[in-house]
């Protein structure tokens, strides 16, 4: 039975973490011996522990030295510990996720002589907004690791194109496997939407604009607040909700107060009822500057909610301007606000785009389809098929 080891930096709240956790917990245990290795401290740790408690075949290993921040001491120790782990476990496949685990995990797998090394780019550790020298360093490390990566998996075509432009590996080793969502859960059933909105503190008949994501620079949530200010000036009945948490929270709270939006904008942190919230929303907005394939956007579209987003990487894989929503240039808050207002002021346009949005998300985005695609990839690599 092939042994597959998944390695991820931390089990934080995010698409890469959710999908890695789901893959580890749903790979066919009759066909694979599976182990998950992760750093400590992530919010999804409890979920991994619960899976391990229910199914002893799903092995789990914490690695405290595997931290998100650049830390030469921790990073070197993590490399040695991963190397030692792979020597002891003798896996047939090592599959890495996220930037730090992707570099250290692949280096350790190469040193340990692991037969098959796979890496999924759920996004990149480098981006066009970094200082040039910092980006060059990260690109050089990725190029090095891609030289001995047998399969390079992307969640979006845009990310695949970005990797090709930066010379990451041999394109013959590229594979597109979408970041999966449990499509059967969308749209969520809400018996009385008006009553549910009132229970959540929203106006019974007021339009609701929603975003979901980490409050960190990549997601650029400050532009969501700036958009809310512009839209509320024209459509004062509109209410806004940004579900998520992160290091920018306090700054956003000050921004909300400074713009006089305390009665219109809610920042509730993370919630477990996002599917239901999407069913209540009129428009979904995403202001990310770079993305792999944003799960929240896929969930919104499948829920029949038209979206207005910045044209960031994987966003343009699923959002077609003027078809199932609108795409605007990054940081163009005025254009973002105009498109949101256009949807809120035209019920027929919003309904038609919502219908197209739901139809645009096909089975390739289903999370179980994602797992089966990874299994086929492992099997082909172990048989040394192209």
**What is the predicted pLDDT for the residue at 300?**
97
**What is the predicted pLDDT for the residue at 340?**
98
- Asked if residues 278 and 305 have their Cβ atoms less than 8 Å apart, the reply is yes
- The predicted-structure confidence for 254-295, as pLDDT tens digits, reads as follows 999 999 999 999 999 999 899 999 999 999 999 999 888 899
- Asked if residues 32 and 3 have their Cβ atoms less than 8 Å apart, the reply is yes
Whether the upstream peptide bond of residue 187 has omega within 30° of 0, thus cis, is yes
Tokens of 278: 């999407």
- The predicted-structure confidence for 152-177, as pLDDT tens digits, reads as follows 999 999 999 999 999 999 999 999 99
Q: What is the pTM of this model?
A: 0.91
Residues of the chain with CATH 3.40.50.2000: 3-180+366-382, 184-362
CA 357/CA 84 separation, integer angstroms: 48
Rg (alpha carbons) of the chain, rounded to whole number: 21
Q: Within 10 A of 335 (CB to CB), how many other CB atoms are there?
A: 16
Class of domain 3-180+366-382: alpha beta
Identify the segments of the chain with pLDDT beneath 50. Answer: none
**What is the predicted pLDDT for the residue at 320?**
95
CA 29/CA 10 separation, integer angstroms: 23
- Asked if residues 221 and 227 have their Cβ atoms less than 8 Å apart, the reply is no
Class of domain 184-362: alpha beta
Q: What are the DSSP E strand ranges found in the chain?
A: 3-10, 33-39, 58-62, 93-97, 116-121, 151-154, 174-176, 208-212, 239-243, 265-269, 283-286, 307-310, 325-328
CA 129/CA 355 separation, integer angstroms: 35
Q: What are the DSSP E strand ranges found in 259-318?
A: 265-269, 283-286, 307-310
CA 311/CA 258 separation, integer angstroms: 28
**What is the predicted pLDDT for the residue at 386?**
52
- Asked if residues 125 and 290 have their Cβ atoms less than 8 Å apart, the reply is no
CA 57/CA 87 separation, integer angstroms: 20
């Amino acid at each position: 039975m092939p042994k597959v080891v998944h390695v991820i930096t931390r089990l934080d709240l995010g698409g890469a973490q959710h999908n890695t956790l789901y893959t580890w917990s749903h790979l066919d245990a009759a066909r694979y011996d599976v182990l998950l290795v992760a750093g400590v401290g992530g919010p999804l740790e409890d979920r991994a522990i619960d899976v391990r408690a229910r199914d002893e075949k799903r092995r789990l290993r914490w690695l405290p030295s595997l931290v998100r921040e650049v830390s030469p001491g921790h990073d070197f120790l993590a490399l040695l510990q991963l190397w030692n782990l792979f020597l002891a476990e003798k896996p047939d496949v090592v599959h890495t996720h996220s930037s730090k685990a992707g570099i250290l995990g692949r280096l350790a797998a190469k040193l340990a002589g692991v037969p098959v090394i796979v890496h999924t780019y759920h996004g990149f550790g480098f981006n066009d907004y970094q200082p040039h020298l910092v980006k060059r360093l990260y690109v050089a490390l990725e190029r090095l690791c891609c030289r001995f990566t047998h399969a390079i998996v992307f969640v979006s075509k845009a990310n695949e194109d970005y990797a090709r432009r930066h010379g990451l590996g041999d394109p013959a080793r590229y594979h597109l496997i979408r970041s999966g969502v449990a499509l059967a859960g969308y749209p969520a059933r809400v018996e009385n939407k008006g009553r549910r909105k009132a229970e959540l503190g929203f106006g019974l008949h007021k339009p609701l604009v929603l975003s979901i994501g980490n409050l960190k620079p990549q997601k650029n949530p400050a532009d969501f607040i700036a958009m809310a200010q512009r839209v509320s000036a024209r459509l004062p009945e509109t209410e806004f909700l940004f579900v998520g948490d992160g290091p920018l929270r306090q700054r956003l709270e000050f921004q909300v107060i400074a713009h006089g939006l305390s009665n219109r904008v809610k920042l509730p942190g993370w919630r477990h009822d996002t599917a239901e919230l999407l069913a209540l929303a009129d428009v979904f907005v995403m202001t990310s500057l770079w993305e792999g394939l944003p799960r929240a956007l896929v969930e919104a579209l499948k829920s029949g909610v038209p979206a207005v987003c910045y044209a960031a990487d994987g966003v343009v894989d699923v959002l077609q301007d003027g078809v199932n929503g609108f795409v605007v240039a990054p940081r163009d808050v005025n254009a973002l606000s105009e498109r949101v207002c256009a949807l809120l002021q035209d019920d027929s346009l919003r309904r038609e785009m919502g219908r197209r949005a739901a139809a645009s998300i096909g089975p390739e985005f289903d999370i179980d389809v994602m797992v089966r695609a990874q299994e086929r990839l492992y099997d082909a690599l172990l048989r040394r098929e192209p």
